[in-house]
């Protein structure tokens, strides 16, 4: 069934042959909050239609729009996948599609009585791209490198009491850390990478802390360390966090 669905979605791309664009897949997860009411299949279907219309993937009434499908994986969320080639062989018009989808999502929250979020200001954590999702799936991972790194950086920040300890905990969790050092010797930022996560040239793929999320930039990490005590959490036996930080009063959390 999955192969048949993929074949149907990809048919407009296949018809273009060598003229097909390099990026042909659009992916968008849509999730309700835990306290939200359980929506019906029909309601989720309507939400999916509104999202793809807002994104410019399949505008309402456009018979030549891109093909798309929505799959409900659980009561509280769906995943929408679309082919980025229209039935007429052209690319969809997706100018500012992220902002448009966010605006539609805020209206959907109102229409369905869901938890209402504040309008985005452009500083939220960047979502993994479709390429990142497919790469994670190909490698057998349940999350993308970006998501894994973001999670580990947050846990290191929550468990650390000093900046030095923050970097020690990151490295102990299996993260490769590259500080950004100015000629004066001052550290003004940092980038992180997962071992083995490389590009086509075999070079590590780095993510700046501020790229993972605005609150994970080094200035924000320093601000958090200066104003908040480390969280009392426990580690799994044999976890490298525990092995490298036995001297801590509050052992750091396990990494995924």
Kindly report, residue by residue over 124-146, the tens digit of the pLDDT: 556 666 677 777 777 777 788 88
Residue 241: predicted pLDDT = 33
pLDDT at residue 130 in the model: 66
* pLDDT at residue 128, as a whole number: 64
Domains of the chain: 2-122 (3.30.300), 138-244 (no CATH)
Q: What is the pLDDT of residue 57?
A: 93
pTM to 2 decimal places: 0.50
CA distance 211 to 81: 25
Compute the residue count for the chain.
256
Determine the straight-line distance between the first and last CA of the chain, rounded to whole angstroms.
Answer: 31
Residue 83 has pLDDT above 60, yes or no: yes
**Which tokens is 35 given?**
């306290």
Average pLDDT over every residue of 196-221 = 90
């Amino acid at each position: 069934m999955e192969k048949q669905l993929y074949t149907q979605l990809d048919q407009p791309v296949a018809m273009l042959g060598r003229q097909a664009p390099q990026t042909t897949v659009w992916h968008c997860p849509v999730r309700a909050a835990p306290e939200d009411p359980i929506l019906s299949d029909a309601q989720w279907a309507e939400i999916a239609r509104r999202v793809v219309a807002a994104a410019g993937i399949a505008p309402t009434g456009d018979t030549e729009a891109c093909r798309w499908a929505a799959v409900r994986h659980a009561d509280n969320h769906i995943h929408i996948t679309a082919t980025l080639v229209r039935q007429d062989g052209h690319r969809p018009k997706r100018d500012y599609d992220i902002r448009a989808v966010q605006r539609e999502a805020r209206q959907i929250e109102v229409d369905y009585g869901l938890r209402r979020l504040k309008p985005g200001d452009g500083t939220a954590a960047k979502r993994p791209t479709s390429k990142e999702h497919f790469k994670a799936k190909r490698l057998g991972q349940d999350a993308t490198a970006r998501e894994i790194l973001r999670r580990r950086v947050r846990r290191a920040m929550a468990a650390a009491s000093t900046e030095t300890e923050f970097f020690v905990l990151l490295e102990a969790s299996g993260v490769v850390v590259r500080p950004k050092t100015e000629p004066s010797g001052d550290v003004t930022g940092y980038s992180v990478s997962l071992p083995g996560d490389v590009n086509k040239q075999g070079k590590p793929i780095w993510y700046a802390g501020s790229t993972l999320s605005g609150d994970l930039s080094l200035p924000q990490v320093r601000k958090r360390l200066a104003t908040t005590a480390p969280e009392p959490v426990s580690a799994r036996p044999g976890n490298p966090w525990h092995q490298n930080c036995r001297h801590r009063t509050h052992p750091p959390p396990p990494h995924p």
